[in-house]
Amino acid sequence: MNRIILFILLTTAAINTSAQQAKITIKILHAKNNILKIQTPVDNTWFYPAVKELSFGADSTIHYSLPIKNFAWLSINNNQILIEPGTTNLVLDNNVLVKSDRNMEGMLLFSKRNTEFYQYRARDYYKRDSTSAGLYQLLENDKNEVLKPYAGLFSRQKISANFYNEIKRYFSAEQVILQAAIPMIVLSTKQKINNDLDKMWAEVYQKHPVDNAQYVFYPDFYYHARYYASTYLHYYLPLKKGIKPSKRNEDESLKSNYKSFEDNFSGRTKEYLLATFLYDEMLQSNHQRILLDLFDNFKSHYPKSNFSPFLQPLANKILAYQKDIKKDYAANEKFVANYPEINSLDSLINRFKGKTVFVDIWATWCGPCKAEFEYSAGLEKFLQAKGVEMLFISMDKDTEDQRWKEMIKYYKLSGNHIRTNNALQKDLIDKLWEGKGYAIPRYLIIKDGKLVVKDALRPSDKEKLYAQIGKYL
């Protein structure tokens, strides 16, 4: 995932006093399936993978309970819901919250908040005003405007004091995180910031220390903390002194980022950030051996961590990967002859005259590409039965040559393989994306050396894809 762009908004948190029981009854109307996804707190933090899938029967109702303190942020089918102790009855229609017997108007109002990724919003604030004084005022004014209707609901006793106070805490945290993001976004685009923004950046961390457990409930806190440690402390401050960052390889960068959380945070905030960092990196499915070492380090410091059970399945995949890459290629995992010398799509597909070919354009860094490999077995069975060739075109750079070859083994990619050189990649971009960069995965169908479908369905489309290929047999 592109970590500055790519983000899904989910929340969980709970603080204060001793645990109490919260009971939730959820009625689901017009559901597309019988699965409800609910994200629950892990040690009072928002943690990406803490999602449970619950199935419901003919009555379309789920009863769920959990221990909480004064309140807890949950995500139920992507609806962010603030739960208090006691019983709460909810109704979802087409996966949208439409009714609650507690804090209903407040929940509906919260569901309409601005959920755009915070770094996009920070960029837009800077477009509105480039001075720190103006930005402070914009952020404060916007927060106050957002809170006004909640204040009205509270004064009319439509929402509880707990709900109102937590909403204020949520938008106060948002204001702090946006303030810190503005100078960072400017630095990333202009490679420098002026003294005004430099002072603003320093002030936000001085007034609102990042090593503060009260922010771990906020959905963008992990990124806020990561950019504080990696960008502000380890890049920007040295750069101000004329110290340029040294080049690191991938393993060194992962170790450095992990250590930045170890050195600059403490207590449960550090444990949460380390666990989230490990999850975020493992989720990329690059299967680096160093992540196992870092996970071992994490477990040695937190042997009873409630985060570890969510990390272990991903660690197991890395272990399997490290084992599989030591094997020889299977007989049906073949490389196109002299592939480094192929400079155009026409030259490549001419090698398959008289055949129907399904083409998968991918890269080792592409998460959605690798997710589609889950359907490879069914696709392979269909292609073999119909006498169709499979061609995988990797868009990886030369530096990823080893990882490309490893992933062919790990994902058991039966078929013909080629990794593009610069000329072939440019030709693909010109022919398939009109010279405007590229987006993958992308699938093609070739018939008798000619491109007949330049944007085919995905393997996950299964029968629909098989029918599409069948037209060219």
- The answer to whether residue 175 is domain-embedded is yes
Residue 7 lies in a domain: no
Asked whether residue 355 falls in the same domain as residue 316, the answer is no
Rounded to an integer, what distance in angstroms lies between the CA atom of residue 203 and that of residue 180? Answer: 9
CA distance 228 to 107: 31
Q: Is residue 51 part of a domain?
A: yes
Are residues 227 and 292 both part of a single domain? Answer: no
Whether 320 and 343 share a structural domain:
no
Whether 6 maps to a domain, the answer reads no
Q: Is the peptide bond before 49 cis (omega within 30 degrees of 0)?
A: no
Which whole-number Å values give the CA distances from 431 to 369, 436, 444, 458, in the listed order? 20, 10, 12, 20
Q: Do both 431 and 347 map to the same domain?
A: yes
CATH number at residue 427: 3.40.30.10
Q: Given this model, what pLDDT does residue 13 score?
A: 37
The verdict on residue 4 lying in a domain is no
Task: Return the bridge partners of 20, or none.
Answer: 68
pLDDT of residue 18: 56
pLDDT on residue 317: 96
Helix, strand, coil share (%) of the chain residues, nearest 5: 50, 20, 30
Domain boundary at 245, 264, 289, which?
245
Identify the pLDDT of residue 92: 95
8 Å CB contact between 442 and 454: no
In a domain, 15, yes or no: no
pLDDT digits (tens, 9 = 90+) for 425-462: 999 999 999 999 999 999 999 999 999 999 999 999 99
Could you tell me which of 130, 272, 239 has the C-alpha nearest to residue 194? Answer: 130
Q: Are residues 139 and 234 in the same domain?
A: yes
Cα 375 from Cα 369, distance rounded (Å): 11
Distance CA 343, CA 337 (A): 13
Assess if residue 187 is contained within a domain: yes
Could you tell me if 365 and 315 lie in one domain? no
Q: Which of 294, 324, 354 is the last residue of a domain?
A: 324
DSSP code of residue 42:
B
Question: Is residue 262 in a domain?
Answer: yes
Q: Which has the closest alpha carbon to 277: 5, 47, 44, 78?
A: 47
CATH assignment at residue 61: 2.60.40
For the chain, the distance separating the N- and C-terminal CA atoms, rounded to the nearest angstrom, is: 36
pLDDT of residue 10: 32
Same domain, 97 and 176: no
Half-sphere exposure of 316 (CA within 13 A, CB side): 6
Same domain, 285 and 377: no
Predicted pLDDT of residue 406: 96
Q: Cα(298)–Cα(296) distance, rounded to whole angstroms?
A: 5
Helices within 327-462 (DSSP H only): 345-349, 367-372, 376-386, 401-410, 422-433
Same-domain check for residues 144 and 183: yes
**The CA-based dihedral angle spanning residues 268, 270, 271, 275, taken in that order and rounded to the nearest 10 degrees:** 140
Question: Which of the listed residues 324, 349, 368 is the one where a domain comes to its end?
Answer: 324
Q: The domain containing residue 295 runs over which residues?
A: 250-324
pLDDT for the residue 373:
97
Do residues 66 and 156 both lie within one domain?
A: no
Pair 421, 376 in one domain: yes
Residue among 401, 328, 314 at smallest CA distance from 363? 401
pLDDT, tens digit (0-9, with 9 covering 90-100), for 311-355:
999 999 999 999 999 999 999 999 999 999 999 999 999 999 999
User: What is the Cα–Cα distance from 91 to 103, expressed in whole angstroms?
Assistant: 13
- Domain count of the chain? 4
The pLDDT assigned to 35 comes to 93
Q: Calculate helix-pair angle for 118-128, 161-190, nearest 10 degrees.
A: 70
Instruction: State which residues of the chain have pLDDT below 50.
Output: 1-17
Q: Are residues 275 and 340 in the same domain?
A: no
Q: How far apart are CA 459 and CA 413, in angstroms?
A: 13
